[in-house]
Amino acid sequence: MIADTLDRVAVAARPEGQSVSRLHRLARARSIARERADGGEQRMREWLRWPVIRQLTGADSLGRGHAARSERTDSERARTSEADSVVGSICPYCAVGCAQRIYVRDGAVSQIEGDPDSPVSRGRLCPKGAASRSLVTSPSRQARVRYRRPHGTDWEDLDLDTALDMIAERVIRTRDETWESSTEDGTRLNRTTGIASLGGATLDNEENYLMKKLYTALGAIQIENQARI
Amino acid sequence: MAEAHPVGFQWVMEAKRRGAKIIHVDPRFTRTSAMADAFVPLRAGSDVAFLGGLINHVLSGEHYFRDYVVNYTNAPMIVGEEFVDTEDLDGLFSGFAEGGYDTTSWHYEGSRVNASAGERDRWDELFGEQGPEHPSGRETPTGGPERAGSGGPVYRGIPETDPTLNHPRCVFQILKRHFARYTPEFVEQACGVEPGRFREVAEALVANSGPERTSAFAYAVGWTHHTLGVQYIRAASILQLLLGNIGRPGGGILALRGHASIQGSTDIPTLFDLLPGYIPMPQAHRNLNLDTFVAADSAAKGYWGNMRSYLVSLLKAWWGEHATADNDFCFDRLPRLTGDHGNFRTVMDQIDGKVRGYFVIGENPAVGTANSHQQRMGLANLDWLVVRDLNMIETATFWKDGPEVENGETRPEDIGTEVFFLPAAAHTEKDGTFTNTQRMLQWHHKAVEPEHDQRSDLWFYYHLGMRIRSKLRERQGERTAEQRERDRQLLELTWDYPTEGEIVEPDAAAVLREINGTDAADTALTAYTQLRSDGSTRCGCWIYCGVYAEEVNQAARRKPGAEQSWTALEWGWAWPANRRIIYNRASADPEGNPWSARKAYVWWDPEQGCWTGHDVPDFDAGKPPDHEPDPEASGPEALRGSEPFVMQSDGRAWLYAPTGLLDGPLPAHYEPQESPLSNAFYGVQRNPARQVYPRPENPYHPSGTETGSAVFPYVFTTFRLTEHHTAGGMSRWLPHLSELAPAMFVELSPELAAERQLRHLGWATVITARAAIEARVLITQRMMPLRVGGTTLHQIGIPWHWGPNGLTTGDAANELLGVALDPNVHIMETKAGTCDVRPGRRPHGADLRRLIDDYRSRAGITERTGVDPVEGTPHPRSDADGHGEGRANDE
């Protein structure tokens, strides 16, 4: 039932930039109908297909179901039905943990829906979760490394491997230059306070684990995330 | 809840449909209030007074659940004669000196409360160099209380008890005296809640608690972002324990956390004071080794008694065959803490030139952290900064177009920070688990490959580690002996994860399996009870042990909810041991029977000789209710069959905290750091043990009757919208969400609008001693003036999602806030501050500075304003650069 509702919502949705008003759709459907009508009988049949007639004469008196459907509506396909694959996922926003289904077509995310199987969310998503397709496909998302040199006034290009190499060099150098083996009275410290880190609550457990493990082995201790702030 | 956790709120509505009564207590009327049976507006920052009033109602009216309280809480424990309550010290507990508490006088009579590594110096003075027994890694002033994430602090010995609850020094009687002051009339003075309305809430809560019924509290950072945030939660815990609402279905105190895996990043902590599974990071102390670190825990009762097994298994997971019994399993390789290394301290150290490199990973402190200007000052004083995010957030661009550049205070040419922006992969582009707010791990599958330079953080840290190791390995010949020694902990780190695909992505399932743990035969473990201290097991996070049981990724289970029982144990996996309600043995009475048929959850099955029920029992499955342990036993074996709180060192829930907290064994109402009111309850205005940082960029306002307080007459509280997320990094760049909530605004009442000539949808400038920000004015009756302490008090709601970048832009609310922290967990107060508001847009450049300076000068603000622990008593330290140990307020 929920899945049906969501499918209907998906049918009504349009890719960005191709938004078509409901009136416009109705007008198009009617013009198609006119072209095909070549006799009174057929015209009458078309008349009877008008939503308002079907609403008044059929079982769908509120006009929110079958009566409102046009040929065009019936010809629409949900992005979910045309997907090449679907995988189970979890919403990346708050900590309720609503389940998502990620639909993929031609190697790109084509739709994200709530997963009705979830005992937590029962298929529902809030406005943010429902917008998460736009989160992952947004043209504003950065795809390339950007580099700003000290005192620089603009971004520069840098390839990923060079960036990784430069960061590794800076970690090693900073660690060496700020290493604290012990306090003045000889108590072991085995650390650096020259390297700090912030962030983790939006990441996966596996990512947090590698972060904490690597930082601890480096001797970095100022490791923090959103749980504190 | 309906606003910030809307899908979770469906269960509140489900409960309402079945007859539950929903009460919403909040400074603002929201969508939650609209759906509630009762809405109780109160003054931001007064919740301890409100909860204290409810506790007093329960105690004075004898409404508590006596059998639960006597058997499952520490109500009968007798506290030592040395303890003196706030009632007798006008707002201080015994032991206050030099800006902090010596907590030794809070102990039970006849038991020795465990001292901690952090308190060791004083402990040495009291007990001598070796101490009465061994020191412990627990309860440090800087982080010990966070142990409460999985069990509380530890004590040993058997305290005197009085099961009749009549002894004048038993916890129950202390509680009664402490909260007697919290009458409805006092509640009204502090909260602005009229006594009749308060009584309605109290009576509804009491009527819905007991053997047949349970009540739940849901909260979010409106309770934790305070200078006494931990005591807010303590107050709710006391109330819920008195009513018998913990460990039972429909009960609890439910934290509604705000990020997809904020629970996970606490369990597997990217936090300074913890190791995975709430094991504390070691503090620097002479003679600290594995034995001394775990000694006190090993002697204690409950599951923390096995801490050595958890820690050794972690060290084995990290250093593999290099960790042996002979080298203390590499315990010495863990870096040592000296005091507070929390983010605020770190940022101040950045400003002071002590920190050179900084990684910011999926967080946006340039607008998302209190006193954002201070955060950007830190960013501008680094050697290098790595930012990993989806969008070009303010933390990456502060040097180019941040407020300081825009205002002409600095120029990009003057900022020496080298910045690397690395684009991150989204959740759809990587495998992994999030841990939700119910402690449930849920796996998300990769749907597509990330594009171009976009990579997961798993990829980044794995390859950064590989690169650092290979460089160090190549250079060993030219490294000094000391450098080679410190390189070993990197070169010998277990870092051999399988990878896949063109981008050489590490296998997240292999990492999860390492977190789960393996035995000597490299078979995945099924439960943390299998962990051993002899080095034969490896486990990256003991509380997650079982998530890969039977070599199956249990977190990836997605059996439809409709096809299983209402506890849905086959969807995802909840720590510990897939339990959905922790401490659920408390859902049965001491004899093991459900308190009522209606509220049956787990119970003792005498025929099968085991605990059973709707959930995984949070108890030794075969231990009968009448089990009496061997007096010599320790660890879980020392727990009686009737002690449900298995992580606690006495098996009981604590109404009174004899150890583990730094600002009092009981909650007491203190005013926020900045408040227009004087404390109605005590002579002490603010939490005397709070952390404050008097610095030029972080001035505080005067409060109450202090001179200049009236310059900032209004209370403000920050909040979230349904349509945006945190500091906006995942929402301000989205067209749909930006259209739904298109502009920064402040929400205030028609009365305040009239008082300050503010026009609906016009502009307003909000001013504090830190900043002035502009916002659109939203005038609604959802904000209502309160009558508090005989005067009218106005409150302003300020969403904190905005910043200068993205599709929808605006000033950041965090500019307004000062940094004043809860001493236990170093969390800042964002939910109750003071401000002024005036019509029109804010000035720019030097005029902006002049406006703020004018307010500072009118309020008479100096570096000393608002920083004394107890008003009229000078702060023990006059500078702010103390970085050593101890518990002074500037730590």
- Distance separating alpha carbons of residues A1 and B502, to the nearest angstrom: 41
Structural domain that includes position A67: 2-75
Are A151 and B412 an interchain contact pair (Cβ–Cβ within 8 Å)?
A: yes
Contact (Cβ atoms closer than 8 angstroms) between residue B112 and residue B691: no
Residue A30 sits in the same domain as residue A55: yes
Write out pLDDT tens, residues B387-426. 999 999 999 999 999 999 999 999 999 999 999 999 999 9
- Whether A143 and B333 lie within 8 Å, measured CB to CB: no
Whether B270 contacts A200, CB under 8 Å: yes
Query: What is the distance between the alpha carbons of residues B430 and B450, in angstroms, rounded to a whole number?
Result: 8
Q: Do B361 and A115 touch (CB under 8 A)?
A: no
B34-74: pLDDT as tens digits = 999 999 999 999 999 999 999 999 999 999 999 999 999 99
Residue given tokens 């099961």 in the structure block: B163
CB B487 within 8 Å of CB B472: yes
Residue B41 bridge partners (DSSP): B26
How far apart CA B371 and CA B674 sit, in angstroms, is: 14
Measured in angstroms, the CA of A224 and the nearest CA of chain B are apart by 4
Burial class of residue B374 (count of CB atoms within 10 Å of its CB; 0-12, 13-18, 19+): buried
- Domain holding A119: CATH number? 2.20.25.90
d(CA B737, CA B850) in angstroms, rounded, equals: 36
Within 8 A of A17 by CB-CB distance, chain B residues are: none
Range of the domain at B23: 1-41
Q: What is the pLDDT of residue B137?
A: 31
| A33 part of a folded domain | yes
Beta bridge partners of B764: B775, B839
The alpha-carbon gap from A101 to the nearest alpha carbon of chain B, in Å, equals: 10
Residue with more model confidence, B887 or B446: B446
Please tell me whether residue B144 adopts helix, strand or coil conformation. Answer: helix
Whether A107 maps to a domain, the answer reads yes
Q: How many angstroms separate the CA of residue A38 from the nearest CA in chain B?
A: 44
What pLDDT score was predicted for residue B57? 98
Phi-psi region of B91 (alpha: psi -120 to 50; beta: other; left: phi over 0): left
Confirm whether B127 is domain-assigned.
no
Tell me if residue B763 falls in helix, strand or coil: strand
pTM, two decimals, is: 0.91
Mutate to test the interface with B, among A207, A211, A216 (most CBs of B within 10 A): A207
pLDDT in tens, B161-185: 999 999 999 999 999 999 999 999 9
**Co-location of A133 and A149 in the same domain:** no
Residue A80 lies inside a defined structural domain of this protein: no
Contact status, residue B736 vs residue B716, Cβ threshold 8 Å? no
Number of helices and strands (H, E) in chain A?
A: 9, 8
Question: Does some domain include residue B767?
Answer: yes
Q: Has residue B11 been placed in a domain?
A: yes
Q: Does residue B365 have a cis bond before it (omega within 30 degrees)?
A: no
Number of domains in chain A: 4
Hey, are the CB atoms on A178 and B562 less than 8 Å from each other? no
Average per-residue pLDDT for chain B: 92
Residue B838 pairs with which residues in a beta bridge? B765
Structure tokens belonging to residue B344: 């605020």
For residue A212, which residues of chain B lie inside 8 Å, CB to CB? 268-270, 275-276
Find the CATH number of the domain harbouring B700: 2.40.40.20
In the prediction, which pLDDT does A48 show?
73
B288 pLDDT above the threshold of 50 = yes
- Nearest CA distance, A66 vs chain B (angstrom): 28
Return the beta strands (E) in B37-187 as ranges: 38-41, 96-97, 100-101, 112-113, 155-156
User: Is A156 part of the contact surface with chain B (CB cutoff 8 Å)?
Assistant: no
Higher pLDDT, B152 or A197: A197
Return the residue in A209, A215, A222 with the most chain B beta carbons within 10 A, the one to mutate for interface testing.
A209
A13 with A71, same domain: the answer is: yes
Looking at the partner chain, which of B447, B458, B561 has a beta carbon nearest the beta carbon of A109?
Answer: B447
Determine, yes or no, domain membership for B710: yes
Task: Lowest mean pLDDT of A37-51, B285-299, B562-576, B730-744, name the range.
Answer: A37-51
Residues of chain A scoring pLDDT < 70: 1-39, 229
**H/E run at residue B858:** helix B845-858
From chain B, the residues in CB contact with A13 under 8 A are none
- Look at residue A38 in the predicted model and tell me its pLDDT: 55
Q: How much is the pLDDT for A49?
A: 74
Other C-beta atoms lying within 10 Å of the C-beta of residue B300: 25
The answer, for A222 touching chain B at a CB cutoff of 8 Å, is: yes
CA-wise closest residue to B693 among B589, B820, B603? B820
Nearest to B259 among A146, A150, A226 (CB): A226
> Is residue B878 situated within a structural domain?
no
Which tokens belong to A180? 């604290």
**Closest chain B C-alpha to A153 CA, distance in angstroms:** 6
Residues 183-202 of A with CB under 8 A from B: 183, 185-202
Same domain, yes or no: A190 and A165: no
* Residue A14 and residue A50 in one domain: yes
Contact B75, B67 (CB under 8 A): no
Which positions ≥6 away from B506 have C-beta within 8 Å? A210, B458, B459, B462, B497, B498, B499
**B423/A144 Cβ within 8 A:** yes
Tens digit of each residue's pLDDT (9 = 90 or more) over B333-365: 999 999 999 999 999 999 999 999 999 999 999
Cβ–Cβ under 8 Å, residues B434 and A205: yes
Instruction: Please judge whether A99 and B262 are an interchain contact, meaning their C-beta atoms are less than 8 angstroms apart.
Output: no
A98 and A116 part of one domain: yes
Q: Is residue B746 part of a domain?
A: yes
In a domain, B97, yes or no: no
The Cα of A199 is separated from the nearest Cα of chain B by a number of Å equal to 5
Separation CA B121–CA B123 (nearest Å): 5
> Per-residue pLDDT averaged across B471-492, rounded?
97
Same domain, yes or no: A71 and A125 = no
Based on the structure, what is the number of domains in chain B? 2
Q: Specify whether A59 is located in the same domain as A9.
A: yes
ipTM greater than 0.85: yes
